[in-house]
Chain A
Amino acid sequence: MSKISVKVDGVTYEDEVEPRTLLVHYLREQLGKTGTVVGCDTSNCGACTVHLDGRSVKSCNVLAVQADGHEVTTIEGLAGADGALTPVQEAFRDCHALQCGYCTPGMIMQATDLLAENPDPTEEDVRLGMEGNLCRCTGYHNIVKAVLQAAGARAGEHA
């Protein structure tokens, strides 16, 4: 067992994990943060996307021990303490950017990373920037629309 200290959604956890424990399993099974889901289990689909030190990663392709001393943000840590949704979350709701909803946590985490890097993306930027996230309902059109709307909303915030 290895001892790790990880800050997840603003709270620091000290835990013992097996070195082979994947970050996604640590989040879900040890911390109970089931908002992050396992989709394909092959690092293709992006459903398990979280932020590690502010950048998106596929948490099924990171070991919990690799997160030792680092900071993780999951879909559960995005909204404000008062429950206020982020512009990306709002836009996904407004644009009906989900059908079954399984890919949504990963989509929102990746879209949040994308907009942090490129606040004013073109549609092509969004499609390329979301290339690592798959939607088996193939609801991409509304997802792209939501990300673009969120970008507009963010632009509005700064205006």
Chain B
Amino acid sequence: MIPAQFDYVAPATVEEALALLAEHGDEAKVMAGGQSLLPVLRMRLNAPGVVVDISRIEELRSITDDGDAIRIGAGATYQDVLDSDLVREHLTLLHQAVAEVADPQIRHRGTVCGALAHADPAGDVGAPALALDAQMVIRGSEGERTVPGSEFFVDLFETAVGEGELLTAVVIPKHTGWGSHYEKFVRVSHQWAIVGVAVTVRVEGGTIAEAKVGLTNMGSTPLRAPAVEAALVGQPASEEAIGAICAQVGEGTDPPSDLNGQADYRRHVAGVLTRRAVLAAAGA
């Protein structure tokens, strides 16, 4: 399969990239690692006139310590994230989820920000990003704005990034010392999650003091589970205490029905995975 023809430009700076996006409007498509975009182009599900490759913009490659948060640039690959001691120490949940993305070859090229901007609800980084209260940094000709994860994901493959804008980084508050676990349910190990659950908890003396839960592929966007998060607080980290709470995680969600499972099956599986993830995160 060969993509339709397009022009290719590889700007060296964010300013150049924004000028190109402004010039080409909805004909332009941003590419970082290209691991989601190239299959789309090959299958001709999309045929942009211009592909703007941002992977050669040096300033976007970095993963930096911003004090209370870690900043992951739009050019940082999954492998860069896996190799980052900052992410491993302060954003353990994201580190665990990124290790579950696709396969090594894809992780060597694909980027966390690219996946967030692609906004596939079955992708593995949306749920942990949401659960960790990520802030998305978006730049356009008007300047820079920061959008919380809760407002970033709009719908299936749709985000708050507007035409002519670029997601330049994701900034995620440190969760140093929090327990965490990403539980991914798949049929084939390198495939998309049928359901995934991202959990991070702060445990004090055997009791859950704070809990954050994100869901993969349980709707048209990644989701948070605020009712379950609230109910977990104050509970001992034991199966008896949290089992019934976690089983409710699918309530009110509208997951897809497909060959891998019907919506009610996914709601059930989400409950099972949440129990496993909470117990693993809490070290029980």
Which residues of A are interface residues toward B (Cβ below 8 A)? 2, 18-20, 22, 25, 41-44, 46, 49, 52, 55-58, 60-63, 65-66, 68, 110, 113-114, 128-129, 131-133
Docked CA distance A53–B129 (Å): 29
A44 CB contacts on chain B under 8 angstroms: 190
Q: Can you spell out 9 A-B residue pairs with CB atoms less than 8 angstroms apart?
A: A2-B8, A19-B6, A20-B2, A41-B42, A42-B39, A57-B105, A63-B34, A128-B189, A132-B105
- The reply to whether A62 and B109 form a contact with Cβ atoms under 8 Å apart is yes
A20 CB contacts on chain B under 8 angstroms: 2-6, 41
**Binary per-residue interface labels of chain B (101-115) against chain A in the complex, 1 for a CB within 8 Å, 0 otherwise:** 011111011000000
Docked CA distance A41–B10 (Å): 25
Chain A interface mostly: mixed
Docked CA distance A132–B106 (Å): 8
Docked CA distance A42–B102 (Å): 13
- The reply to whether B2 and A110 form a contact with Cβ atoms under 8 Å apart is no
- The reply to whether A63 and B8 form a contact with Cβ atoms under 8 Å apart is yes
Q: Which of B55-99 contact A (CB under 8 A)?
A: 55, 79
Chain A residue at minimum C-beta to C-beta distance from B191: A44
Docked CA distance A56–B108 (Å): 7
Docked CA distance A151–B197 (Å): 35
Minimum-distance CB pairs A-B, first 5:
A132-B103, A19-B8, A20-B3, A55-B108, A131-B190
- The reply to whether A61 and B8 form a contact with Cβ atoms under 8 Å apart is no
B108 CB contacts on chain A under 8 angstroms: 52, 55-57
Docked CA distance A57–B39 (Å): 14
Known contacts A20-B6, A20-B41; A43/B79 CB under 8 A: no
- The reply to whether A65 and B104 form a contact with Cβ atoms under 8 Å apart is no
Q: Is B281 an interface residue (CB 8 A)?
A: no
A58 CB contacts on chain B under 8 angstroms: 105-106
**Binary per-residue interface labels of chain B (180-207) against chain A in the complex, 1 for a CB within 8 Å, 0 otherwise:** 0000000001100000000000000000
Q: Tell me the smallest distance from the CB of B45 to a CB of chain A, in Å.
A: 12
Docked CA distance A55–B110 (Å): 13
- The reply to whether B104 and A66 form a contact with Cβ atoms under 8 Å apart is no
B230 CB contacts on chain A under 8 angstroms: none
Given A2-B8, A41-B1, 20 further pairs, Cβ under 8 A: A19-B7, A20-B4, A22-B38, A42-B42, A43-B39, A52-B109, A55-B108, A57-B105, A60-B42, A61-B34, A61-B35, A63-B8, A65-B10, A66-B34, A129-B104, A131-B103, A131-B190, A132-B104, A132-B105, A132-B106
B55 CB contacts on chain A under 8 angstroms: 66
Among A44, A58, A61, A110, chain B packs the most CB atoms within 10 A around the CB of A61
Docked CA distance A68–B53 (Å): 12
Q: Tell me the smallest distance from the CB of A29 to a CB of chain B, in Å.
A: 11
Among A42, A43, A46, A52, chain B packs the most CB atoms within 10 A around the CB of A43
Q: Is B169 an interface residue (CB 8 A)?
A: no
Docked CA distance A43–B3 (Å): 14
B172 CB contacts on chain A under 8 angstroms: none
Q: Tell me the smallest distance from the CB of A129 to a CB of chain B, in Å.
A: 6
**Binary per-residue interface labels of chain B (125-139) against chain A in the complex, 1 for a CB within 8 Å, 0 otherwise:** 000000000000000
Docked CA distance A121–B53 (Å): 35
